[in-house]
């Protein structure tokens, strides 16, 4: 009798185990199980359980974070939306500091962002030339010009921005010879005045041509 009862219990345990292994009789008992709709999807996203998310946009966003966590470009291929996939590729390009990935991005906006981020990150002005968006391209050249104090990069900017760029680099380097590259004589003297104050060098005042500006420069050292 005891043997017969044991056999029945053993068979029952085997059936229950089989259900657990196949997953057919297993319910989701995780932290997100009791939630519904958007709240449930958001919970899965927070826990990077992307495959369980029903909303496509939320699932794509989740996969981006998963790709970043794994630092794996291949994960981006699981994304359905082309624009989100492009963003994912851009993020991995930055993480891996791999500019080659930028050229594989089909979305123009994210390709420009990829070129910009890696250009500025590595002071590679050649990447700036690959940016289609004019404003972003100019910012790219400006940021690298200031970071490297390379006044030659100022030449890629419109006239007003170019002049500001030259002025800033002249002051950064405290080099009055660069001031002469400014188009307006009054700006050249303003540049020399600024450098004289920064270097605390009264002798620079003598190079200022406008009398009023030279007087301001000399008076600065009398105080």
Mean pLDDT of the residues in the chain: 87
Q: Answer whether residue 7 is part of any domain.
A: no
- Let me know whether 128 and 162 are in one domain: no
Q: For 48-70, give the DSSP string.
A: T-GGG--SHHHHHHHHHHHHHHH
| Region 155-159 average pLDDT | 97
Residue matched to tokens 């006239």 = 159
Does residue 211 register a pLDDT over 60? Answer: yes
- Let me know whether 120 and 50 are in one domain: yes
Does residue 8 register a pLDDT over 60? Answer: no
The Cα-based distances of 34 to 39, 42, 46, 59, 99 in angstroms read 10, 13, 15, 19, 44
Q: Which of 122, 148, 174 is the last residue of a domain?
A: 148
| Region 195-202 average pLDDT | 96
pLDDT recorded at residue 63? 93
CB 145 within 8 A of CB 164: no
Number of domains in the chain: 2
What tokens does 186 get?
A: 């009054």
pLDDT recorded at residue 223? 66
Share of the chain above pLDDT 70, in %: 86
Residue matched to tokens 């490297």 = 148
- Let me know whether 57 and 122 are in one domain: yes
Spatial distance between the Cα atoms of 93 and 99, rounded to a whole number of angstroms? 6
Give the global pTM.
0.80
Does residue 16 register a pLDDT over 50? Answer: no
- Let me know whether 157 and 121 are in one domain: no
Length of the chain: 223
pLDDT recorded at residue 30? 74
Residue matched to tokens 């400014």 = 182
Cβ-in-10-Å burial (0-12, 13-18, 19+) of 105 comes to buried
pLDDT-based confidence at residue 52 (cuts at 50, 70, 90): confident
Does residue 2 register a pLDDT over 60? Answer: no
pLDDT recorded at residue 109? 98
CB 153 within 8 A of CB 145: yes
pLDDT recorded at residue 29? 56
Does residue 17 register a pLDDT over 50? Answer: no
- Let me know whether 144 and 41 are in one domain: yes
Q: Which of 133, 148, 163 is the last residue of a domain?
A: 148
How far, in whole angstroms, is CA 196 from its chain's centroid? 37
How far, in whole angstroms, is CA 163 from its chain's centroid? 27
**pLDDT tens digits for range 97-139:** 999 999 999 999 999 999 999 999 999 999 999 999 999 999 9
- Let me know whether 141 and 161 are in one domain: no
- Let me know whether 131 and 193 are in one domain: no
- Let me know whether 100 and 193 are in one domain: no
Share of the chain above pLDDT 90, in %: 71
Does residue 69 register a pLDDT over 70? Answer: yes
- Let me know whether 61 and 142 are in one domain: yes
Q: Which domain holds residue 158?
A: 149-223
Q: Which of 103, 130, 148 is the last residue of a domain?
A: 148
């Amino acid at each position: 009798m005891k043997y017969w009862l044991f056999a029945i219990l053993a068979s029952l345990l085997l059936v229950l185990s089989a259900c657990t292994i196949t997953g057919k009789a297993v319910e989701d008992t995780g932290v997100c199980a009791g939630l519904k709709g958007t709240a449930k999807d958001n919970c899965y996203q927070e826990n990077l359980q992307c495959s369980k998310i029903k909303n496509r946009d939320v699932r794509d966003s989740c996969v981006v974070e998963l790709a970043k966590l794994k630092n794996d470009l291949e994960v981006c291929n699981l994304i359905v939306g082309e624009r989100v996939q492009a963003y994912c590729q851009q993020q991995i390009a930055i993480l891996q500091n791999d500019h080659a990935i930028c050229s594989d991005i089909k979305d123009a906006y994210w390709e420009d962002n990829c070129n910009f981020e890696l250009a500025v990150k590595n002071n590679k002005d050649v990447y700036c030339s690959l940016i289609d968006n004019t404003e972003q391209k100019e910012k790219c050249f400006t940021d690298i010009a200031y970071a490297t104090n390379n006044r030659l990069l100022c030449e890629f900017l419109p006239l007003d921005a170019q002049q500001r760029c030259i002025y800033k680099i002249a002051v950064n380097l405290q080099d009055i010879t660069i001031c002469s590259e400014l188009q307006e004589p009054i700006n050249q003297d303003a540049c020399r005045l600024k450098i004289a104050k920064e270097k605390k060098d009264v002798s620079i005042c003598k190079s200022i041509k406008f009398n009023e500006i030279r007087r301001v420069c000399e008076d600065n050292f009398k105080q």
